[in-house]
Each structure stands twice: as C-alpha cells, then as structure tokens.
Amino acid sequence: MELLLIILIGLLYGAGVYMILRRSMVKLLLGIMFLGTGANVLIFLLGGITKGKPPVIDEAAKMFQDVYADPIPQALILTAIVISFALTAFAIVLLKRVYALVDSDDLDDLNTPEEEDI
C-alpha cells in the first residue's frame, strides 16, 4: 500500500510540474490541481497508514482499548482540500476572464505593453 501511494505521489507531482511548465492556461490550472492533490496524498501517507479504528471514541469508554488511526492528518487534509477548493474556483474564474479578454490560451500572450493605470 505504501509503495503504491509513493508511486502515485511521484506521478501526481511529476504530472503537476510538467503541466505547469506548459504554455497553455488550462494545463496550468490542471498542474496546480495535480500538485495540490499530490500534497494531500503525501500528508495522508506521512501521517502513517494503520489498520486502526476510526478515531471516534465511545462516550462511555474511559481508556484507549484499541489502536486508533491518527486524526490529525485527516484534519490537515480536510483543511487543505477546502483551501484548494477555494483557490481552484478562483483560478477558474480568473483564467476564464483572462481568456475572454486576451482571446488566447497561450500564457506567452499575457504581455500587453505598458498601459497607464490607476
């Protein structure tokens, strides 16, 4: 299981970096999403994969009787997912606006000569 996840993480990071280095805006977006997912899987792996019970303990229990999974990686990943959800949503709206204005998917076209601004 660990080996499988390690390969998956490598693939996600590699694909993410490759996509970010492309010139297309859509691929930039995909690259950002891959990198975010890769980081989440990495935290999941490094939190330790156990076959423990879910870390929800019965109210009546007075002490730990079983092996419980570490709840912290879950909290971290949940937070990271929420954040990457917001970032991705923003990135989609932004890139869509830019596409409508520039009318090109090529990141190299984003160099409008200097224009007076506010």
In the complex, the residues that contact other proteins under the rule CB under 8 A are 16, 20, 25, 28, 32, 35-36, 38-39, 42-43, 45-48, 56, 59, 72-73, 76, 78-80, 82-83, 86-87, 89-98, 100-102, 107, 110-112, 114-118
Q: How far is the CB of 115 from other proteins (least distance, A)?
A: 5
Token pair 């932004």 is found at 94
> For residue 20, what are the contacts with CB-CB under 8 A and spacing of at least 6?
27, 28, 31, 32, 35
> What residues have CB less than 8 Å from 51, skipping those under 6 apart?
67
Residue (65 or 96) nearer to other proteins, CB:
96
Residue in this structure with the two tokens 């390969």, named with its chain if needed: 7
**Distance of closest approach, residue 1 Cβ to other proteins, in angstroms:** 16
